[in-house]
Chains A and B, each alone.
Chain A
Amino acid sequence: MDQLVPLTFAIPLLGAALSLIAVRRQRVQRVLNLTCLTATLGLAVALLVHVERGDQAAVAQVGAWPTDIGITYVLDRLSGLLLVIAFTTMLLVLVFAVGEKGRDEHSPYYHPAYLVLAAGIGAAFCAGDLFHLFVAFEILLMASYVLLTLHGQPGQVRSGTTYVIINSVESLVLLAAVGLVYAATGTLSLADLPDALAALDPGVRTGLQVLLLIAFGLKAAVFPLFFWLPDAYPTAPSPVTAVFAGLLTKVGVYCMIRTQTLLFPDQHRTLLLIVAGLTMIIGVLGAIAQTDMKRILSFHIVSQIGYMVMGLGIGGPAAVAATVFFLLHQIPIKTSLFMVEGVVESTEGTGALDRLSGLARRSGWLALLFALPALSLAGLPPFSGFVGKLGLITAGVDRGQYVLVVLALVGSLLTLVSMAKIWLGAFWGAPAVPGAAAAAAPVGLLRHRRTMGGATGMLVAVGLVLAIAAGPIYSYCERTADDLTTPGRYAAQVEADR
């Protein structure tokens, strides 16, 4: 069973290659893509169950080389959980993209690039050493560059250029950090690094940590490094933005969780706390200033990242458990909000709030699909966002981080305000003017876009399941956090398999 771990990204890569061969056959590509993602999702679920039952991470040594010189892939509780939610989301977004008539027909390279993106995400979650984490990042970044600029329209090229350059620089910073870590410790394996780093001079450790934080922080879009995101994301086609919003920044957060808990436990938490507070507040203030659905939602990505960094900054099992749960809930919630925006844009032709009005009267279902994740994003009970934020705030109060707790609460309130802004602008009121006769008739927006609506609905349902089953899922997150915050457990699990 353990040896199947590399298949989580080998299957999508193989699918991408086959999909490139079938470049002229749209239908074959679609079936191939759906099959590959379904198979990978099934595998991820099986591995997750295997890991949970055996209470032991699944470790694959490629070519049976020892950990310190070979390539190791590790699937522990955290990676397993994230793989399952990531592939679920990717699968539903794919259905959405196929349903958005003509979206994937524009370019025969949509499906291969999408599969490569899936492979990169899978590999990043399973990478057992820093260099392969870098390689996985490159795979997923390359695919994201292609997806972002696929149609080559002026707006996409303009914002894509910024995105590509910023992320290339990020890769170089990460690579330099990897080189320096190797120079300082002589190993890159995540299992060996904690001990090797602990033996270093504190100054050198701080330097390495800051370099890694800059690299992953750029990817995750935390406070001083988020400027590229609200510009780049909104220009992409809706399904692409949806999957980027849900997953790409979260891979950065995953890496921050991994390196912070494993390599630099309890080091420089104040820095993280400051970054977290500023990210939450500035992100949400940016969202309030915008007048376009996609741009508001893009700024929210930044704001929500702040909450996850907050958990890391507070430290301790309780806060890390809340962070993991929050990360888990953000992926489907954020993606489904962008999918609703995609439905609106594909039927109304715009996401600008001043041109939209009265969507709720024309399609109650769409309004419901927007309202549920929006309320969850704002953190109202009984939704999943509430559970995550409650965990974070309790942990913050326990540790006496009152300033940050207040900031988090203010941030939530402002999130609610900006969600209300979208609601008032797009969903409330009388139907919009253009084509007055057509607008006056109560046309179900979702009826035209049945597949898109269905996929969105299923993803919203996934978000609701997280709220309904919050008890067992949260206790799973607590076990994950226990693994993460116990020094030496990761190394022991990898070693045990050697």
Chain B
Amino acid sequence: MSIPMAALIGVLFAAGTYLMMHRTMTRIILGFAVLANAVNLLIITAGGPPGSPPVLGEDGVLADPVPQALVLTAIVIGFGIQAFLLALAWRNWTLDGNDEVEDDIADRRLAERAGLEETPEEAVEDVATEVDAGVQRRGDEQPQDEERR
């Protein structure tokens, strides 16, 4: 594995992980795309040093074609998941007016019971999103929750 390639994979992994730590769907989707590509490059490098053609080589020098076939499949699967994530983000946006990934309801209740409504950072974010989405968002969620149980 050449050093620039290794460095590139490392940077992509780091960037992808960083993006996926965020709470907004768009960043998570971008992060997923970057991570998926990092993994694909990792598999390609598993096939040995670059430069040789995969199937018909001159002087009988061949690159290993198996990782390339694997990556082809992995790319298709990655695209499929990204498309699904985009659809999910769209649905989330039509329902909530934002693309934030929300907390588990039970977690929220536990936090409330423990007396700490929210951690300070989250409170700031929540205020911001609630201003954006209109304050009735919380109100909408209650009846839905009631209906479910």
Interface residues of A (CB under 8 A from B): 69, 131, 134-135, 138, 142, 145-146, 149, 152-155, 157-162, 164-165, 168-169, 171-172, 175-176, 178-180, 182-183, 186, 188, 230-231, 235, 290, 292, 295, 350-352, 355
* Nearest neighbor of A181 in chain B, beta-carbon distance: B46
> How far in angstroms is the closest Cβ of chain A from B45?
7
Whether B84 lies near A142 (C-beta < 8 A) is: yes
Whether A235 lies near B148 (C-beta < 8 A) is: yes
Q: A135-B77, A160-B88, A178-B43 are in contact. Are A292 and B149 (CB under 8 A)?
A: yes
Chain A residues with Cβ below 8 Å from B64 are 186
Whether B70 lies near A131 (C-beta < 8 A) is: yes
Whether A149 lies near B20 (C-beta < 8 A) is: no
Binary contact track B15-32/A, C-beta < 8 Å → 1, others 0? 000001000010010001
Whether A350 lies near B149 (C-beta < 8 A) is: yes
Question: Other than the known A154-B140, A162-B104, A183-B46, what 8 A-B pairs have Cβ atoms closer than 8 Å?
Answer: A149-B91, A155-B144, A161-B101, A161-B102, A168-B85, A178-B70, A183-B42, A351-B149
Whether B88 lies near A179 (C-beta < 8 A) is: no
Given A142, A145, A146, A355, which contacts B149 in the complex, CB threshold below 8 Å? A355
Interface of B is mostly: helix
Whether B101 lies near A179 (C-beta < 8 A) is: no
Chain B residues with Cβ below 8 Å from A352 are 149
* In the bound complex, CA of A188 to CA of B74 (Å): 15
* In the bound complex, CA of A149 to CA of B106 (Å): 19
> How far in angstroms is the closest Cβ of chain B from A353?
10
Interface of A is mostly: helix
Interchain Cβ contacts under 8 Å between A and B, 11 examples:
A134-B74, A145-B84, A154-B144, A161-B92, A164-B84, A165-B20, A179-B67, A182-B43, A182-B67, A183-B45, A290-B106
* In the bound complex, CA of A430 to CA of B124 (Å): 47
Chain A residues with Cβ below 8 Å from B96 are 154
Binary contact track B119-149/A, C-beta < 8 Å → 1, others 0? 0000000000000000000001100110011
Whether B144 lies near A175 (C-beta < 8 A) is: no
* In the bound complex, CA of A351 to CA of B67 (Å): 49
The 7 closest A-B pairs by CB, nearest first: A183-B46, A179-B43, A231-B104, A352-B149, A179-B42, A182-B46, A138-B77
Contact residues on B (Cβ < 8 Å of other chain), bracket: 35 or more
Query: Residue B39 at the A interface, CB < 8 A?
Result: yes
Q: A175-B43, A180-B42 are in contact. Are A157 and B106 (CB under 8 A)?
A: no
* In the bound complex, CA of A399 to CA of B66 (Å): 43
Whether A168 lies near B144 (C-beta < 8 A) is: no
Whether B46 lies near A179 (C-beta < 8 A) is: yes
Whether A172 lies near B39 (C-beta < 8 A) is: yes
Q: A178-B43, A180-B46 are in contact. Are A171 and B81 (CB under 8 A)?
A: yes
* Nearest neighbor of A142 in chain B, beta-carbon distance: B80
* Nearest neighbor of A160 in chain B, beta-carbon distance: B88
> How far in angstroms is the closest Cβ of chain B from A241?
13
Chain A residues with Cβ below 8 Å from B145 are 155
Chain B residues with Cβ below 8 Å from A350 are 149
Whether A165 lies near B28 (C-beta < 8 A) is: yes
Whether B74 lies near A168 (C-beta < 8 A) is: no
Whether A175 lies near B39 (C-beta < 8 A) is: yes
Chain A residues with Cβ below 8 Å from B11 are none
> How far in angstroms is the closest Cβ of chain B from A166?
10
Query: Residue B52 at the A interface, CB < 8 A?
Result: no
Whether A161 lies near B84 (C-beta < 8 A) is: no
